Structure 1
Amino acid sequence: MFINTYLMMPCRCLEKAFKGGSFLVYEAHKLISGFAEVHASFKVEEVIEQADYLYGSGETEKLYRLLVQHKNSDDAELLWRLARASRDLAQLSSTSAEEKRQLAYEALEYAKKALENNESNFAAHKWYAICLSDVGDFEGIKTKIGNAVVIKEHFQRAIELNPKDATTIHLIGIWCYSFAEMPWYQRKIAATLFATPPTSTFQEALRYFHMAEEADPNFYSKNLLFLGKTYLKLNNKKMALLWLSKAKDYPAHTEEDKQVGS
């Protein structure tokens, strides 16, 4: 508040002096304007730093409260983090069913806005795809399958922009696994929505899960679990046991890790 007042006062004085034709005052005004822009940028960086600390600490509710104050921002880095925080809040067991639905749609809007403001931001593509998939859970199987191609395209674009992001590679693996085990009635729906329905195989899913593990070894208990599950689908019990044992022995840092290991 003090800095904002400090910046506003000289600007009013400079505007008055500029009417008198002072070139030097005009240059000073430009300098102060530049300082204001730098300060605004620095503030965004501070919020992001604080947000990343809260995320790493598992402070989901505090993180959401921090970031939702900036929901009207045009900064893609802030917006995709807000999309993620909204989704994480929706996942909490303490969140009501109605709140889960509202937060899912909010998260999608924030991710969409992040993407509109910076198409080259890999995380914006990643979280737009995740949130679009979440909304499909509320709109039924036709919408979910109908969005499937778009979801995969955004995951692939995210990997193009950041080939080392193991989580996105894992999510494409999940996409492939889901279509490989799709029930017949869902395949029938897919056939009505697409001239060439999206399909995949367990071999393709396995390739992505291994790629994710190569990008960041032992990064995620669920990737280990799905390596095991996919090997089971391929009737390779020896490799399935290897990866399922790794998933079971994975140190439980989150509620999801505990579920995987149980």
Structure 2
Amino acid sequence: MPTPNNFNAFLGAVIIGAISAAGMYLFEHFRQQKTKHKMAKELARLDQEVSQVKREVQQLMVQKNEKSLKPKRSRNVRKANSILSTTTTVTEDYNSAVSIDSSDLEFYDVSDEELDAPNANSTNGFAINNLDNILKEIDTELDSYSVTQLEKSLQRLEDLSFDYPENTDILWRLGKAHHKISENSDDKEFVQDHISKGIEILSKALNLKEDDPDVHKWYAILVGSRSEFVSLQERIDDGHKFKKHVDAAIALSPNDPSLHYMLGRFDFEVAGLKWYERKVAAALFSEPPNATYADALLHFMQAEQLANFEFKENKLMIAKCKIATSDYKEAMEWLTQASNCKQGDGLIHANENASSGKTSRRRSHAFI
């Protein structure tokens, strides 16, 4: 019981504590509302893009019908670049592949045999046989829309890496954490710093374990994320690295839909290169990247078959491949399917942040 002399101070402390508690409640309420707003905004973006592409396909179909009524002169069909260059940036399409990467798809199973640490306890005092549970908790945090949660995950992973410096299950998650945090900032120096750290960590993981699909996958993602920070020649070189490591990841994990989506995005971009861009690639490398829309479509169709959810962004890319080959009727069918998806793309389905919570302005694998 406070003395009369201290009663005023005691009362003031109680009032301040009550105000602080109310402030924390209001802050948490505001944060949750902001998260819901981000998800709704991304769903609206995808719906708007699908509607836009549908309108343009309808126009192309009308034009095609009009041409069929006229005398035939030339069967030279030009690509409709205005249709292919829709409102979605390369980064948004690319990061939706990242989106599928969640515990919902069981990409993060960790067995006790894979733990490399010589000591019995982690930095936080957990026994080694609890490390798999810790990593599952971190996976949930990495799929959060909260920057605070992402930073918390990064700190936990850095702490674990001191006890398990050669554990690749920790290292590739560290790379993922750096990538996810970088996607929540427009500060180029901040972004470049996190991407560089992630690539350095994944390079170490590759040297330790070459047969881990997640290591190859996240190395490819991080390499693809640094395109705006390097020269033209380095971007083309990164394109080769991206393709090499996605291929390696698919060989190790052929049923991962995100990997097929990533390869489809790469092939789609390469297929759309202009002639002078191909000349630049050929001048710098003896084997410049080469792919067709048919190649891209094959990977998108594989992703569609493997995904156990409504992969809206993948359906949109299938429609774009159909448009590129003037198959407008099937393009409309795929756009209708995309429109009817109740879920957003893989990113929203997995409840991750990255570019769905915040539309990124960066190009993730614009290699040329």
TM-score in terms of structure 2 length: 0.56
From 120, 124, 127, the counterpart of 1:36: 120
Match of 1:256 in 2: 356
Residue pair 1:190, 1:198 contacting (<8 A) in 2 also: yes
Match of 1:216 in 2: 307
Are residues 257 and 95 of structure 1, via their aligned partners in 2, closer, same or farther at CA, if it must alter by over 3 Å? closer
Q: Alpha-carbon deviations, 1:71-130, whole Å to 9, x = none?
A: 5521111111111111111111x4522111111111111211222221111100111111
From 126, 145, 157, the counterpart of 1:67: 157
Residue pair 1:80, 1:124 contacting (<8 A) in 2 also: yes
For structure 2, the residue ranges without an aligned partner over 5 or more in a row are: 1-117, 360-368
From 186, 192, 212, the counterpart of 1:101: 192
Shift of 1:43: 4.7
From 337, 342, 352, the counterpart of 1:246: 337
C-alpha separation between the residues in 1 aligned to 2:119 and 2:214? 29
Pairs within 5 Å for 1:34-183 = 36=120, 41-58=128-145, 59-72=149-162, 73-92=165-184, 94-183=185-274
Residue pair 1:146, 1:190 contacting (<8 A) in 2 also: no
Are residues 71 and 109 of structure 1, via their aligned partners in 2, closer, same or farther at CA, if it must alter by over 3 Å? farther
Residue pair 2:320, 2:331 contacting (<8 A) in 1 also: yes
Shift of 1:234: 1.1
Pairs within 5 Å for 1:192-207 = 192-207=283-298
From 323, 326, 349, the counterpart of 1:235: 326
Identity in percent: 27
For CA contacts below 8 A with separation 6 or more, give which structure has more relative contact order. 2
SS of the residue aligned with 1:120?
coil
Which one-letter code corresponds to 1:36 in the other structure? A
Which one-letter code corresponds to 2:256 in the other structure? D
Shift of 1:224: 1.6
SS of the residue aligned with 1:235?
coil
TM-score in terms of structure 1 length: 0.77
Shift of 1:218: 3.8
For structure 1, the residue ranges without an aligned partner over 5 or more in a row are: 1-33
SS of the residue aligned with 2:266?
helix
Q: Alpha-carbon deviations, 1:163-219, whole Å to 9, x = none?
A: 111101110111101100012332121011222311100000000000111111445
Shift of 1:229: 1.1
Q: RMSD in angstroms over aligned alpha carbons?
A: 2.5
In the alignment of these two chains, the number of paired residues is 225
C-alpha separation between the residues in 1 aligned to 2:210 and 2:228? 26
SS of the residue aligned with 1:36?
coil
Query: Is the helix fraction higher in 1 or 2?
Result: 1
